[in-house]
Structure formats: C-alpha cells, structure tokens
Structure 1
Amino acid sequence: MTRQMTRTANPVTCDPRTSVTKSLLGYGVIAGPVYIVVSLAQALTRDGFDLARHQWSMLANGELGWIQITNFFVAGLMTLACAVGLHRALPPGRGAIWANLSFITGIVIIWTWLSALSLHLCRHTTPEQA
C-alpha cells in the first residue's frame, strides 16, 4: 500500500488588498456589539441611570460623559471603515448602493459624536472661559 500526497496547483497566497478589505469589513461586524457593550456597562454602573426611563444618549452628560462621546466616535469610525470595505468588496452597480448607505450612516454617527461633544463642552465651559 502506498500513500499518495497531492498538492493544490494554486497555493493560497495572502493578498494585502484582500486582507485589508476583510479587516475593514470586520469593523462593521463589531461596531454594533462594541457600542452596546460600552453603553450597557455605563448604564449599569452609572448612579441614577434607569434603563427603563433614560435613553443611552443621556450617558453623554455629566463628568463621565466623555466615555459615551468616545463610544459614539469609535462606533462611527468603525462604521466608516466598514463602508470603505464594502466599497472595495462590492462591484460597481446596484451592490455599491450599500457601500454608500453605510458611508452615510457613518457620517451620521460622527455628526452625533460632534453634537454630543459640543454639548458636553458647552455645559462644562463657564462664561469666563468662553
């Protein structure tokens, strides 16, 4: 009895463009769970915060508001990264619409971050500092 070993004609290579595209798409997979975990961790540890009555955006208020503001920013960046990955992965045509929608969603999240940051700065600025 003899053993026969065969090799594939096309060895698997690591294409840098494909690796980067997969990494960018991976950020879209983890953007939502990261946002939810960070928000829930704050909601459960913040004094006076009630999940039944308060919205998560209220976590951007107060001394620890920077945590939620950073959470908005990071989620927005991960969504933008996913949009770039979709743009690279999808062929031109109807599928490319999803890349554009994802990009717009990332812009909206970044805009939310900027709004929360400006609100946070306004509340913590005295008239003498303005």
Structure 2
Amino acid sequence: MTIHTTEWTMTSDITPEAAYRDSDTFDGWRLSWLPDRRLTRTQALAGMRLDELLSDPHMVHDRMTQARVDVHADELGILREQAVILLAKRMAARLEKELRPKGDPAPPGRRARTHRTLTPTIDPPFVHG
C-alpha cells in the first residue's frame, strides 16, 4: 500500500479514490469520497490511509488494522461505519457506470433503459434466526 503525494494531489496504488488540494484556499484539501468537507493536509492523508485499509480484504478481521481505521476515521471526525458506507456507495456508483450500456447514457436522476437490470444487487448478510 502506497500513497503517492504531490503538492496538489494524493493517489493510491490500490484504490481509485484520491485527495486533491482545494483551489479556493492555500491549505485546504478534499477527498474524492468526502467532497463536501474541507480538510487539512494531515486529514486528507488520514482519509487516504483509511480508504486503503478498508480496501484490503485481507485485513477485515485484523484487530490492529481496525484500531488504525478507527484512529484515521476519528481524525476525519467520522465513524468507521460512516466511512465504510461512503466508500461502498462510491464503489457501487463506479460499478453502475461501468455496467451502463455505451451510447445509452441515463439522464440525471434516472437509470439507463435496458431490457434487463444491469445493476448488481447486494444481498444483506444472512442472519440465522
């Protein structure tokens, strides 16, 4: 896991999310997955690290990794669960865009017309009663 940083951007080698410097201010940063919040450079880096940790399926059950996730989420002022939801929504939006038929763009707020559903459904975890 590597985060590549410049004066204006932060990118990852394992996730498509990024951080970029806000052009309105000298020291403000924004995360692609948390665009409505102006952040410090330290917070933007914490957001990128958080995204990388949550993107590694091998670390899901590692308690030390989960503790680091909580620390990075706290630096952003959000809960781990909020970060997971926001990143999952971004992933779902990317998948929907990839599955949309070429040449048949959906108007804003509406799905593309197709004869079959192209959006994969995500089933909730099975719970034994």
Query: Is the structural similarity TM-score above 0.5?
Result: no
Structure label with greater radius of gyration: 1
Report 1 or 2 for greater relative contact order, CA contacts < 8 Å, sequence distance ≥ 6. Answer: 1
Judging by fraction of residues, say which structure has more helix: 1
TM-score (norm 1): 0.28
Judging by fraction of residues, say which structure has more strand: 2
TM-score (norm 2): 0.29
